[in-house]
Amino acid sequence: MWLLSTARAELHFFSDPAAVPKGYATLSHTWSQDPNNPEQSFQDAQRIATECRANGTNPRDVVCEKIRMCCITAERDGYHWVWIDTCCINKESSTELSEAINSMFTWYVLCEVCYAFLDDVSSDDDPKATNSQFRHSRWHTRGWTLQELLAPALVYFLSKDWETIGSKHDLAETLEGITRIYSKYLTRDWDFLTASIAVKMRWASRRKTSRVEDEAYCLLGLFDINMPTLYGEGRQAFIRLQAEIVRLSYDTTLFAWGNVHLPSDETLAQAPSQGNVDNFHDFHEYLFAPSPAYFHIPYFYAAAVTLKEKVSHFLMSHEKALDVRNRVTSFGAVTPPSFTLTPHGMKCHFPIAEADGPTIMVLLAFKYPYKHVGLLLCPAQPSEFQDPNLPVYYVSWRFKTTDSHRVLRLADLGDDLDSLTFRGQSLKPVWRDICIRAAPRTQDRTDTPHMIIRMRHDQTIALFRVPRCLIGELSALQLLVFSSVFETDDNAAHERVLLCQEASIPVRIRIKTGICKRASTDEAPMHWAWAMTASRKTWYDSWDRPHDCATDHVDDWKGEQRSFGDEERTVRISFTTDRHNKKTRVLHVELHGTVYEELQREANVWIGREDPSRSLAAAAALESARPGTGEALDVQLTPEGLPVSHTPLPTPTTSSSLSTNAALPRGVVATTNADSTPAARLRDAIASPIIDPRTLDLGSLSASDLDALKLRLSHLLPLLEALRLVAPDSVPP
């Protein structure tokens, strides 16, 4: 491993952490979000050291502030060496990067102290206060900081000015409220490695990573797993992690995620088994979860079955100490279940019960409060290559509500392992071998390329088209996008549904499009569309309706766009005509509202629009450069959203001079006026830029352009008032 010397911030290599004299400190932090102040890399540290050796200076005085202050803090506490992930890993070497990721948990375990630097917390903040900066620090939301909180024995939290806030032990109860990690795990009264898989996954369920693969890689040490890192594999990384866990563990709480069928749900009617789940391939259908987010359900606290009687003992039991062989039940002795990955899915040896409808696999796990749980299974369509003696299943079962349906994955089986029940029916489990689809097959995968390939909107008769960039943007928000054909409206044709959903928010958006039979002709199809959004309260509400000719026809929309939802969740949709087929409409989507804005801000992805901060930056810059300075103020923007500085341009006389302003949006002409009189200021306010409505292409104006124009127009009223009082005859027509 590479370590920095605290005295000079120079890199030195040690073959083993144990070989570091007098130990080392580590830094836990969130990476800089400021593009003008990026983190310094391994190569940066090497270059600075080389330059300083040549000119005789100390590299510690040249490195960035974070590295410098970390070295000073560690040196002050008596440590000669410190490890910082940004500059102590050579990320240009895939071998070294993979080794570091697989060893990182161990490096944090072996460190003498870990400094958790919170750059968004002031030194005068009270961390235990209800609305403290500490409670809302970004550090608590990142995936990698989970192992950095748990692995070191001694963690000190430092404010943005490097003052000590408190230790992990001092703040254990506060941290429990923030992270949902029981304080006894933080204080080491309980061994956190003995927590069940579901509990550990729940700790990670609300945390985010910049790369989707890191959702899995940041958990390797927590589950004592080593596996190659393959950046570019996407969500397959988390599938591989679960496959490794299954290979090395008997803990079946890995499958204990999703919605639970409770005794109160016994009144729900069951859907028939034919096509129950097999036709729509939702993420709940599979044995493995797509991401840790699916373990977020707060009322579910899973643990493996042991011989202990009290719940508290169940939660503290270590998997390696499980004595399940001597537990005799009504379905025989409880033996360790087995798992084998096959082309048909995961071959499982488990107690299986046939209920009135679904097949139930008893998980040999329970949820808190003490209730045994099982997986609801639905038979898959037989395959010609399938072993007739080894049936294949999907997970989940549909239950009908008044006007919709619910997809439930788990079943509450009661509190007596010897007398399990489901929907009032006594179960008779027997040990059997079955196969369960562990993860999506190639034809069922939900990464962006596979979602696009299966887009139903791409069928031969495609009167609507979904841009590829939209699917990519939605995927960047970790939304799964499904496209389906829904012929449910008697007065409509070519109905298509675009469903976007995500587990941990939750976010669920349904956009439906079609052609109105009543108002269409072969040459002029009448397109219609509507959208729905969901919160937890409306998650299972009706998600379909016939189109309404009075409101849903796209050609009748005011401003050629329409918004659906409320102040928390708003979907704004509009359409443009396809360049290659005038009958085809191209979908454009924007997400607004407090919930969606926060989701986009965290991911730094803005669906269908620019980052609003760019528009604000442009407006603020234009506000500071008021008219009358003698310099042209045109609205051309840099990639950072700031105005480009120009020398004064000659005032164009007609719109034909647009050809000399190719960098500006069509219809927008730059101008200047060196005069600082009120009349000239008015001309600057109006003519910087000049808008010619005859040639204006609204589609070429970005959100930043519009903000700049609004700011220009906001200057008109005071200027007009000044002109009326000073020189009323000089107001230009």
* pLDDT of 143 above 60: yes
When mean pLDDT is compared over 315-324, 479-488, 646-655, the highest value belongs to: 479-488
Element (H, E) at 72: helix 65-76
Could you tell me the strand order of the sheet in which 405-408 lies? 269-270, 397-400, 405-408
- DSSP-assigned states of every residue in 583-596: T-EEEEEEEESHHH
In single-letter form, the type of residue at position 722 comes to A
- Range in 110-119, 451-460, 506-515 the model is least confident about: 451-460
* Residue labelled with tokens 């009264």: 189
Q: Please report the pLDDT score of residue 474 as a whole number.
A: 86
Tell me the pLDDT tens digit for each residue of 537-576: 776 666 788 899 999 999 999 888 999 998 899 999 999 9
What is the band of 169 on the pLDDT scale with cuts at 50, 70, 90? very high
Residue 415: predicted pLDDT: 87
User: Is the predicted pLDDT of residue 278 greater than 70, yes or no?
Assistant: no
- Residue 34 pLDDT exceeds 70: yes
Q: What is the DSSP letter of 451?
A: H
Question: Are the C-beta atoms of residues 164 and 201 closer than 8 Å to each other?
Answer: no
Q: What is the pTM of this model?
A: 0.71
What count of other Cβ atoms lies within 10 Å of the Cβ of residue 565?
20
How far apart are alpha carbons 485 and 494 in whole angstroms?
8
pLDDT for residue 471 is more than 70: yes
The angle formed by the CA atoms of residues 71, 77 and 82, to the nearest 5 degrees, is 35
Count Cβ atoms within 10 A of the Cβ of residue 325 and give its class: 0-12 exposed, 13-18 middle, 19 or more buried.
exposed
Does position 449 have pLDDT exceeding 80, yes or no?
Answer: no
C-beta of residue 79 within 8 angstroms of C-beta of residue 5 = no
Q: How far apart are CA 153 and CA 552, in angstroms?
A: 60
- What's the mean per-residue pLDDT of the chain? 79
Number of separate helices (H) and strands (E) present in the chain = 17, 33
Indicate if the pLDDT at residue 300 is higher than 70. no
**CA distances from residue 555 to 551, 579, 608 in whole angstroms, order as listed:** 10, 17, 20
164-167 β-sheet, strand order: 11-13, 2-5, 81-83, 25-28, 113-117, 155-158, 164-167
| 100-104, 344-348, 454-458, 720-724: least confidently modelled range | 720-724
Q: Give residue-wise pLDDT tens across range 218-230.
A: 999 999 999 999 9
Of residues 728 and 253, more confidence is placed in: 253
Q: Is the pLDDT of residue 306 over 90?
A: no
What pLDDT, on the 0 to 100 scale, is given for residue 608?
Answer: 87
**DSSP SS3 for 154:** coil
Helix (H, G, I), strand (E, B) or coil at 516: strand
